[in-house]
Structure 1
């Protein structure tokens, strides 16, 4: 016997038909058996025993508001963000024939849900607010490039993509030479300005949107070059080194020269871990600094 046989479907239709005009997806969930009915064109179609969604995979959410609605006997709402789209999900318990079901209402609100009362621009859409919040979590506030959190999340993904496509991947570890002297002589505010301009100089040398650069920590930066073998990574590092050598950094009205050391590591071995990959590049950077700085070590 399926869930449709156990309940009065006409009664359900009478209760939810008007909601179809307001939401993109309507489904009825029996939270005990996990059976699901999808409401579509006036029909209720059974969709098996596992919760599923228009967004994400067929799995129970970590924050399952349907189970919470059942437990507390309350209506709950939440915003979900997936693939650069925003969804408003409303769940409410419904008593039918001595059985408690959960009605789940899903509406895409990427461009239609606003925060506050101003409609004079796209900036007030909730989706843009969510995107801005995401940027805050992955962007270094000083240099405005990616931060360490982004590096930790993105590098394993790019390594896996390159392995699957049988492409190499290179990373370049970069460190500002004698940066402590800059801070000691000109102050930390001037040192911050050096880091900002230094990051911009590095960023201007990467190839395309696939390449990226992040602040690894302090005056150390990581450049990721997916699909690039050692020779291609070396070309990019040499371009960065030359760009920095030619640049005049103006600190307290005085022109100073900055140099940098580079360590490059390349792999196409799917067995290498992220930690080993980073350690390899860090060791090459250490070798460059020990060899006199302002140089590149492969």
Structure 2
């Protein structure tokens, strides 16, 4: 591949901005295959995100849903705060497309929290555009206006750095704000904003945004009781959405068109639109998108019982319900067991100095480092609470376990986190207990490992203390 993955990501973003979606999707697919094959998860996550957004722009909800499970798994294993910000945005788009409003708002606000912490200008624009639209859907005009104007303020800064991207975001902001002003009865301002969209010299490259503007005109004329004009624009919006297969928007506009047709009492047209509407509804039901998304949500809630949502490692549920079986297997197979308790030195200082999202990233880097180091071992990683982790390892040789935990501690001390051109090393203290092939009682192993951790702390931190259970 001639382009590096980093250059490829940039190129795909530029192509999306220009509306070259089909070509961008081809590149994203190729790049993702290369990234996964080379285990380049940082760029792989970016390419997953790009690919999902391209499918969204193409109106292909089915492909978005099919990708999201793998994307979520990679985020949990390898993601940084930036990736979780992107993940929550993607989930907000999916929940919106299947009509689950409460989850749409929840996901959008989570994405905004990360965007604020990371000072990501583009995401602040994008998320507030979405929030404006969602508040309109809820009928909260004042909140929608506030979100739309915030998006505009952020976009003025974005425009200075990335003018082409800023122009596209301006179209989206104008479309959403137009709905707010129309609902408030300020038809002149609403029309002015929609005129700006359709008069833009880039709108012909962005069909989804043009559909929204045509829909906005239909909404404008409907509210003014100019119903025949409303029908004309609603039909144009539907025709354009159908041209690239955007079923979700087509169905939404058809529902509004039917309301206007009923007011006009145009029976022949009502019959034809109803027929197409029913066929479309049946097709979307056959795709079973809502059920797929709800299954995804169910599995996510189920996994919360076992896995820590921040770091992706096991949580205390494992200790309560599965650890005894794990130890029983070790005893039957006559393996030695090592119980490791570790935590981050000065973790509170990380949070107080850099903010809690920075602290979250530190925990994710630590968890990812543990997973990577122990990937070939018979081991389980558990987040015990806060910044405290427990690792349990089984092996036939006691000496191997002792050497492994020392190497693991040395490896963890090489991990760093970057923040605003500064690099901060992780400082970790570790207490370890290795059993004697007789005592497999969790309480005894934990108590000894915990004592070793306190010794490591008292000896100046960044230490590893190991004991054997006799």
TM-score for the superposition, normalised by structure 1? 0.54
Structure 1 distance, partners of 2:439, 2:424, is: 44
1:297 match:
465
Correspondence 1:286 to 2:460: no
Query: Which residue pairs with 1:87 in the alignment?
Result: none
Secondary structure class of the residue paired with 1:191: helix
**1:113-262 map, 5 Å:** 117=285, 119=287, 124=292, 132-208=300-376, 210-227=378-395, 229-262=397-430
C-alpha distance in structure 1 between counterparts of 2:407 and 2:439, whole Å: 31
SS at match of 2:383: strand
When you count helix as a share of all residues, which structure comes out higher?
2
Higher relative contact order (CA 8 A, sep 6+): 1
Offset of 1:269 from its aligned partner? 4.7
Deviation readout 1:62-87 (Å, 9 max, x if unpaired): xxxxxxxxxxxxxxxxxxxxxxxxxx
Deviation beyond 3 Å, 4+ runs, structure 1: 116-121, 123-134, 268-272
Q: 1:125 to 1:257 in 2, by over 3 A?
A: closer
Aligned to 1:12: none
Match of 2:63 in 1: none
Q: Distance in 2 between matches of 1:118 and 1:172?
A: 50
Q: Deviations over 1:14-72 (max 9, x none)?
A: xxxxxxxxxxxxxxxxxxxxxxxxxxxxxxxxxxxxxxxxxxxxxxxxxxxxxxxxxxx
Q: Secondary structure at the match of 1:235?
A: helix
Q: Which has the higher strand share?
A: 1
C-alpha distance in structure 1 between counterparts of 2:329 and 2:336, whole Å: 10
Distance (whole Å) between structure 1 residues aligned to residue 344 and residue 396 of structure 2: 24
The answer on whether the counterparts of 1:288 and 1:296 sit within 8 Å (CA) in structure 2 is: yes
TM-score by length of 2: 0.35
User: Structure 1: where are the runs of 5+ without partners?
Assistant: 1-115
Q: Paired residues, what number?
A: 182
CA contact (8 A) 2:334 2:396 kept: no
| 1:208 Cα deviation after fit | 2.8
Alpha carbon RMSD of aligned pairs, Å?
2.8
Which blocks of at least 5 consecutive residues in structure 2 are unaligned?
Answer: 1-283
1:155 Cα deviation (Å)?
2.1
* Structure 1 residue 154 displacement after superposition: 2.7
Match of 1:77 in 2: none
State whether residues 377 and 393 of structure 2, in contact with CA within 8 Å, keep that contact through their aligned partners in structure 1.
Answer: no
Distance of aligned partners of 1:124 and 1:171 in 2 relative to their CA distance in 1, 3 Å threshold? same
2:335, 2:437 within 8 Å by CA — same for their partners in 1? no
Contact 1:190 1:252 in 2 (8 A): no
Q: Secondary structure at the match of 2:322?
A: helix
Structure 1 position 128, deviation (Å): 7.6
- Residue 227 of structure 1 and its aligned partner are, at CA, apart by 2.5
